[in-house]
Amino acid sequence: MNQQSENLPPVPFSPAEFVALRDVLDGYVQFLRNSRATAQRERCIVLLAGIAQRLTEQLHHAEGVQLTLNGAEIDALLEALRDFAQQIERLFPHTPRRDLAVATITGWQARVLDPLPGIN
């Protein structure tokens, strides 16, 4: 996947979406740290914290954000977004605001998946 990721088209996210994505990742990493420790969770924490850190660094640059992810990072990101949306649905009462949050996260997942060959 590393070689393929260089040839993938960019996934368009606005700067505000990147900020929100970084905040979701930070929150999800905290959730994982407070969960029962497993080797898989620890690996996911490392990957997601790395993505969030790179987003933070890039958000401080005026040129804009361009984040290249490898296959393991894409997998971790998609899993985090899926699980985060499920947690929102499970923990918060059904409201238009909750539905908008879940729809936004689901839309991010679709935009990440769309340019990946053979995934759709």
Q: What is the 3-state secondary structure (H, E, C) of the chain?
A: CHHHHHHCCCCCCCHHHHHHHHHHHHHHHHHHHHCCCCHHHHHHHHHHHHHHHHHHHHHCCCCCCCCCCCHHHHHHHHHHHHHHHHHHHHHCCCCHHHHHHHHHHHHHHHHHHCCCCCCC
Q: What is the pTM of this model?
A: 0.83
pLDDT of residue 104: 95
pLDDT of residue 10: 66
For residue 7, CA distances in Å to 54, 66, 72 come to 20, 14, 16
Q: How many domains does the chain have?
A: 1
119 inside domain: no
pLDDT of residue 58: 84
118 inside domain: no
* Regions in the chain scoring below 50 on pLDDT: 1-5, 119-120
pLDDT of residue 9: 56
The string of pLDDT tens digits covering residues 21-41 is 999 999 999 999 999 989 999
Range of the domain at 98: 7-113
48 inside domain: yes
pLDDT of residue 13: 84
pLDDT of residue 85: 96
pLDDT of residue 114: 80
42 inside domain: yes
